[in-house]
Each structure stands twice: as C-alpha cells, then as structure tokens.
Amino acid sequence: MPTNINGSAGHNTKRHASELAQPSAAAGIAPLLDTLRQLIHDARNRALQAVDVLHVQTCWQVGRHIVEFEQGGAARAAYGKRLLPLLAEQLTQEFGAGFDASNLRYMRQFYQALPIRDALRHELSWTHYRLLSGVKHGALLSRCNY
C-alpha cells in the first residue's frame, strides 16, 4: 500500500478534530491582510514615483551642467564634439548603464527645452520627457504653459 505525505500507509488520513472545528485561519485575518496589502502597494507606488521624480530632476541637472560647461568659453570649446563621449565613458565606468553619449545628448536637449526647473511635472517620467525633448523647443514650451 502506498504511503501518503506524512508517511503513514493508506489513502484515508484522519484530520485532527481541532482542524475541522476551526474556520480557516486566513478567513479570520482577511480584513487585516487586505489592509496590509493596500498599505504595501501604496508605499511601493509612492517609492516608485519618488524615484521617477528624482531621476527626472537628476537628468535635468546633468543637462544643465553640460550646457553651462559648453557655454563656458573658448577654453571649454576645445572639447567640442568629444565632450559627450568623454563624459559617457567616465560616467558609465562609474555608474553603469544610462549615461552613454546619446542619453547625455537627451539630457542636454531636455534642459534646453525646459530651462526652468519648476516647469517639470511630477506626473511625467524620464521616458516621457525624452520623447518630448524631440519636439521643437517652442512647441514643448507652449504645451507646458510656460
């Protein structure tokens, strides 16, 4: 005769009387579980939103610093087209993906399209702004009521 999960022979297993008499433990704590689930989901969503806001602000700041460096005169103009690849190489080594020359170009365009930081919208992610940065500056600025 085959053995069941707890090693005893036979197909019929006896349940303890206490298991049969008590309602499911999960049913008793269902309202608490629902509350905790909602709390955890809300906290995770707020954390993701905060990360998105910081990411957008950081990209804007990176763009601002690049533009200000490029506008720094003849001494800095010597870097010319080499600036973004040089920055990309160093930043990628130190911080990993996300800082290649094309992304740095997007950050620069982002700052140039929206030079006033207060015009940034918390509802938009970096991906949204990257797409919007391709729009002509005047069209983007007029859409932001700015």
> What would the pLDDT profile of 124-139 be if each residue is shown by its tens digit?
999 998 888 776 555 5
Report pTM: 0.69
Please write the tens of the pLDDT for every residue from 31-57. 999 999 999 999 999 999 999 999 999
Q: Are 34 and 47 in contact (CB under 8 A)?
A: no
Q: Which residues of the chain have pLDDT under 50?
A: 2-6, 8, 18, 21, 141, 145-146
CA distances in angstroms from 133 to 4, 56, 67, 111, listed in the order given: 65, 12, 15, 9
Amino acid at 53: V
Interhelix angle 30-70/83-95, nearest 10 degrees: 150
